[in-house]
Amino acid sequence: MDKKRVLITGGNGFLGKNLVKKLLEDDFDVSLFEERIEQDTDFKEFIKEKDYFFHFAWQTDLEKSMSHPLSDLTTDIGGMLRILEDCKKYNPNIKIIFPSTVTVIGEKNNLPSNEEEKENPISIYDANKLLAEKYLGVYFKNYGVNFTCLRLSNVFGEHQRIDNPKRGILNFMIGKALRNEPLTVHGNGNFLRDYSYVENITDAFITAAKSEKTNGEVYVIGSGEGKSFNEVVSKIKEYAEKIYGTSSEIVHIPSKTHDINKRNFIADSSKFKKMTGWYPKISFDIGLEKTMRFYKNA
């Protein structure tokens, strides 16, 4: 078989680096586009003759999205429309795989939660992710441009920054443990989350790309296991003592976080599992230990 040709934006980011590694291991032909795509970006030459397009370049700071909403609209949504127009005109057979977020449903949801939840975003970041999903649907239905959206939940793992409190809270806590700093928990820490190890998510992306059954679909992706933040922080402290030789204190402080970060969430990925046969092969504990050893050796 000929190698499948892949284009990735955001290939030097957290998800991108892990995806590139896996794609090269699986013998894909991979190209990276690292410029910021905006409405006037000349993009057509890059998408020609590509089979799959993973669009990972996105502004991910929720607080920044709230304080600079027009900037996010211009770059993220304007960029998405530029991509869709060029795909429609120059490569209508390409398939776009887009990482969305489970937070597009807002604060309230069932446990576990699936794709049937009512969408009610309460931040600019979440609203733009949902708008991107809808634009992808419009171009699929009207012009046949294939896509799959994966709504992700709290992804952690290798190659994510461990010094950014605004993105990737689990990895941020690993960084604090590595530096022997206090592990700060906002509020009571009892809220539930579905923490997804990045190798499982990378497998889901590649599975979504290769399967024709996923064309035009949106899926909720996660481990299916809910863990309280207190449980996760305690596990990080335990592993840090074993791997790093540190002993960080767990400290609770008054909550200063956005309301979307206070909700409970567990993913129901049964639709994607049934459609593709995918399932998360690596457990939370194994993924956490692999991640922490990676940063010890990095």
Specify the 3-state DSSP secondary structure of 97.
strand
C-alpha to C-alpha distance for 154 and 136, rounded to whole angstroms: 23
> For the structural domain made of 5-156+195-225+262-280, what CATH number should be given?
3.40.50.720
Contacts of 112 (CB under 8 A, 6+ apart): 194, 224, 226, 266, 267, 268
What residue spans define the domains of the chain? 5-156+195-225+262-280
CB crowding 45-55: b at 16 or more within 10 Å, else e: ebbeebbbbbb
Greatest distance between any 2 Cα atoms in the chain: 57
Rounded Cα–Cα distance for residues 272 and 224 (Å): 12
CA neighbor of 223 nearest in space, from 287, 175, 147, 137: 287
Rounded to an integer, what distance in angstroms lies between the CA atom of residue 33 and that of residue 158?
21
Per-residue pLDDT of the chain (298 residues; tens, 9 = 90+): 479 999 999 999 999 999 999 999 999 999 999 888 888 888 899 999 999 999 999 998 888 999 999 999 999 999 999 999 999 999 999 999 999 999 999 987 899 999 999 999 999 999 999 999 999 999 999 999 999 999 999 999 999 999 988 788 999 999 999 999 999 998 888 999 999 999 999 999 999 999 999 999 999 999 999 999 999 999 999 999 999 999 999 999 887 666 666 789 999 999 999 999 999 999 999 999 999 999 999 8
What is the DSSP-derived secondary structure letter of residue 267? B
